Structure 1
Amino acid sequence: MNARPLVTGLGVVAPNGLGLEEYWAATLAGRSAIGRITRFDPTDYPSRLAGEISGFDAREHLPSRLLPQTDRMTQLALVGADWSLTDAGIDAAELPDYAAGVITASHSGGFEFGQNELKALWSKGGRYVSAYQSFAWFYAVNSGQISIRHGLRGPSSVVVSDQAGGLDALAQARRQIRKGTSVVVAGAVDASICSWGWVAQLAGGRLATGDDAARAYLPFDEDARGHVPGEGGALLVVEDAEHARARGAQNVYGVLAGHAATMDPRPGSGRAPGIERAVEEALRDAGIGPDEVDVVFADAAAIPELDRAEAEAITKTFGPHGVPVTAPKTMTGRLYSGAAPLDVAAALLSIRDGIIPPTVGSSPNDRYDIDLVIGAPRPAPVRTALVLARGQGGFNSALVVRAADS
């Protein structure tokens, strides 16, 4: 089969907006949610800023039986999945058995749940460790819990490739649709803003330091010195076009048109970074040329050598200042696996509304020959968007989304 994979539902849980339209309004307004951490005391850590989701009370959205068995990450993911299915107008109970699946990505699993149970083990003893620890920490738990909650018994899995994982999960959903699955809930939500998770992130050496939230996360800027982490992400309903047509789907945001994943070469090999090949192969997979891309949503690592590699990959494909480039994640922080699906949601909304969201905080360095959208949104007819994501360890992923009538 060669079914056409449409996106018919979007569920967003982001630091600057709970819910699709709240997130989009905040993003177009340039409202950043980056600030000093409140979920634990960060005073003694070199990095003290994050993009936290405020105002989220899981008790308002989920049954009480789920709360003691789920990490904050999973609670956010369950709500995002609920919202995506509602947005798509799909009642999962009405779907045939095995017609729908769940594919998510995870960067760290349920870190906070694990931290709390380890505290109980060390301070009280093994009898006080929750039996739910056996799965609440696990990378695949979001796929499992969403599947159970909605009775989605079709092809399901989890992808682990750091920040690239969110795009890889959507690509896997695209493959399943083309194999004959009717509906896949796909994307990612991560949340590891706890002291244990923070130490793990600091060990990677890529976190920005300092306390000035407005100048902390600065991709493509002369003062770039690392990223600010965040929590959240997006779950998307990916649906076979014929299935969507037959049920009279009200929302069709776009089509997942092309994808490629690559690995960076061994350091010191002298070979080009893999992001360049990912861009070329994603366009080839979509069957389009560079001149058909209207905007690039950048990975935006805010590490000078990584920014340079990404900018060079963009300019090699599109030419100097050849395509608008944006990084709305400067308002949320890098959400790890959740970052790229959120960018895909923003890209689809750009197609819907004919506007490109801004990058906030950064002043583009002249050494990068890219047309970075800064300061304010840029009205533009958007029919095709390229979303890029890279994970620590050499993962690269590129996804092309297009208007459904393209």
Structure 2
Amino acid sequence: MSRAADTRVRTVITGIGVVAPNGFGTEDYWAAVLRGESGIRRISRFDPSGYSARIAGEIPEYDPATRLPGRLLPQTDRMTRLALVAAEEAFADAGVNPRDLPPLTCGVVTAASAGGFEFGQKELQALWSKGGQYVSAYQSFAWFYPVNTGQISIRHGLRGPGSAIVAEQAGGLDAVAKARRHLRSGTSLMITGGVDGSLSPWSWLCILRSGRISTCDDPREAFLPFDRRAAGSVVGEGGALLVMERAADAHRRGAERGYGEVIGYAATFDPRPGSGRPPGLRRAVELALADARLAPADIGVVFADAGGVPELDRLEAETIAAVFGPCAVPVSVPKATTGRLLAGGAPLDLATALLSLRDGVLPPAVHVESPAYEDLIDLVRDTPREREVTTALILARGQGGFNSALVVRKTV
């Protein structure tokens, strides 16, 4: 039985690993975001010409054999390989090898929207065309949504708490919050976040069923959050994994840096349509601020969920204006360069927020030329905005009514 959580325990992020459509690695991604370099392009992993949407945030091809042991390649989906690469980077960035720490003190919580779709599709094709004897035994777990948690824990000897969260975009923040609870209950180190979004015909059909995906074929105009021309979102693959530690334990082992401290979090669920009750996003923001013991004026920047769907963007803009005041806080949308990365999107926003706190610069929303809510939000656009901030609020919404909000503070 786990110990009761001690809310006085400070939890800091000491390592970041990023795999994104516009940057393979944290610093490559960060430089691309500040240049306004987009990774949104026509899908190349399969022929998308027969589908209503043909644009995605696709990670360029790479050779996984140069990054991972050969024995892992036959048993992992592309999504899981990307997650293993991000985990390696996060641990290296934190300067820690979990196997050097006492057993049972390190764990992993990841978020996923589904699982290894591409792997599953190939095995189903083998079943249909050749027979059951040609289906890999690895199909039993490679498609499963907790597979990233399992493979990361095995590879790095993480024998502490392990779990997976499924809440689409919001799940990435929920995973970080669950990791914080484990740290407050006595675990020393957690790796958390999410890497998601295998692009395959099977998964693409499922994604298109949402009715919220942009059908524009121009990568510059397909995803325009908070723009008058917004007509849907663009889905991408990738995300971020983060090493979180109890602050005292990180200091004790001699951690060289702490990017930031997770100080507030809340999650809510929207009421059923037609109930007459308001959406839950505002309540999530207010509860996260209360958890952080901050007033709205204490927040230096908001990293928006940015659905790219007019009604979703308006709701978010109105929520931000209602909590903070009209145009009272800068709003950053770095996902305009990557697309929405399913369960990997919010962890990538969190990583970006931490880099913004580190470097004193807020990334812009690219290609937003006709802002729709200038009376409500101060959207950072066109070029990065230099500003020293010490706190950031990250918002995430998942299809089906999930809302999550998380507050981080710069460590000094």
- The 2-side partners of 1:366 and 1:349 are apart by 26
Percent of paired sites with the same residue: 61
- The 2-side partners of 1:185 and 1:204 are apart by 30
In the other structure, the counterpart of 2:190 is 184
Going from structure 1 to structure 2, the CA distance change for 1:106 and 1:368 (only over 3 Å counts) comes to farther
- The 2-side partners of 1:55 and 1:87 are apart by 24
1:320 maps onto 2:299 in alignment:
no
1:348 maps onto 2:322 in alignment:
no
Q: Tell me the CA shift for residue 55 of structure 1.
A: 3.8
Aligned mate of 2:379, from 359, 367, 372: 372
In the other structure, the counterpart of 2:394 is 387
Contact 2:314 2:373 in 1 (8 A): no
- The 2-side partners of 1:263 and 1:311 are apart by 18
Give the RMSD, CA atoms, in angstroms. 0.9
Matched pairs, number: 405
1:224 maps onto 2:230 in alignment:
yes
Deviations for 1:116-135, whole angstroms, at most 9, x for unmatched residues? Answer: 00100011111100000000
In the other structure, the counterpart of 1:156 is 162
- The 2-side partners of 1:161 and 1:210 are apart by 27
1:141 maps onto 2:147 in alignment:
yes
In the other structure, the counterpart of 2:20 is 14
- The 2-side partners of 1:293 and 1:51 are apart by 29
Aligned mate of 1:63, from 69, 72, 79: 69
TM-score by length of 1: 0.99
Contact 2:45 2:199 in 1 (8 A): yes
- The 2-side partners of 1:52 and 1:169 are apart by 24
- The 1-side partners of 2:198 and 2:349 are apart by 19
- The 1-side partners of 2:99 and 2:269 are apart by 40
Could you list the structure 1 runs, at least 4 aligned residues long, displaced by more than 3 angstroms after superposition: none
TM-score by length of 2: 0.97
Contact 2:105 2:189 in 1 (8 A): yes
Contact 2:226 2:373 in 1 (8 A): no
> The residue matched to 2:169 in structure 1 has which SS?
coil
Going from structure 1 to structure 2, the CA distance change for 1:212 and 1:173 (only over 3 Å counts) comes to same
Deviations for 1:248-278, whole angstroms, at most 9, x for unmatched residues? Answer: 1012100011000000011111211111100
Partner letter of residue 228 of structure 2?
E
- The 1-side partners of 2:63 and 2:304 are apart by 31
Contact 1:87 1:251 in 2 (8 A): no
Partner letter of residue 68 of structure 2?
L
Q: Tell me the CA shift for residue 368 of structure 1.
A: 5.5
1:43 maps onto 2:49 in alignment:
yes
In the other structure, the counterpart of 1:236 is 242
Q: Tell me the CA shift for residue 366 of structure 1.
A: 3.8
Gaps of 5+ in 1: none
Partner letter of residue 381 of structure 2?
I
1:83-122 correspondence runs (5 A): 83-122=89-128
Q: Tell me the CA shift for residue 36 of structure 1.
A: 0.5
Contact 2:327 2:378 in 1 (8 A): yes
Deviations for 1:175-199, whole angstroms, at most 9, x for unmatched residues? Answer: 1111111000000000221111000
Q: Tell me the CA shift for residue 308 of structure 1.
A: 1.0
Contact 1:108 1:192 in 2 (8 A): no
Partner letter of residue 7 of structure 1?
I
Contact 2:107 2:161 in 1 (8 A): yes
Contact 1:325 1:370 in 2 (8 A): yes
In the other structure, the counterpart of 2:138 is 132
Q: Which moved more, 1:367-376 or 1:222-231?
A: 367-376
> The residue matched to 1:220 in structure 2 has which SS?
coil
Aligned mate of 1:280, from 264, 286, 289: 286
Partner letter of residue 311 of structure 1?
A
Deviations for 1:143-195, whole angstroms, at most 9, x for unmatched residues? Answer: 00000000000011000001100000000011111111100000000022111
> The residue matched to 1:189 in structure 2 has which SS?
strand
1:400 maps onto 2:403 in alignment:
no
- The 2-side partners of 1:227 and 1:366 are apart by 18
Going from structure 1 to structure 2, the CA distance change for 1:95 and 1:215 (only over 3 Å counts) comes to same
In the other structure, the counterpart of 2:271 is 265
Partner letter of residue 294 of structure 1?
G
> The residue matched to 1:213 in structure 2 has which SS?
coil
- The 1-side partners of 2:85 and 2:127 are apart by 30
Deviations for 1:320-342, whole angstroms, at most 9, x for unmatched residues? Answer: 00100011101001000000000
- The 2-side partners of 1:354 and 1:256 are apart by 18
Gaps of 5+ in 2: 1-5
- The 2-side partners of 1:281 and 1:21 are apart by 32
Contact 1:105 1:160 in 2 (8 A): yes
Going from structure 1 to structure 2, the CA distance change for 1:223 and 1:271 (only over 3 Å counts) comes to same
- The 1-side partners of 2:162 and 2:373 are apart by 45
Partner letter of residue 230 of structure 1?
G
In the other structure, the counterpart of 2:209 is 203
> The residue matched to 1:86 in structure 2 has which SS?
helix
> The residue matched to 2:233 in structure 1 has which SS?
coil
- The 2-side partners of 1:64 and 1:242 are apart by 37
In the other structure, the counterpart of 1:338 is 344
- The 1-side partners of 2:273 and 2:102 are apart by 49
Aligned mate of 1:293, from 279, 295, 299: 299
Contact 2:172 2:345 in 1 (8 A): yes
Contact 2:169 2:345 in 1 (8 A): yes
- The 1-side partners of 2:182 and 2:349 are apart by 22
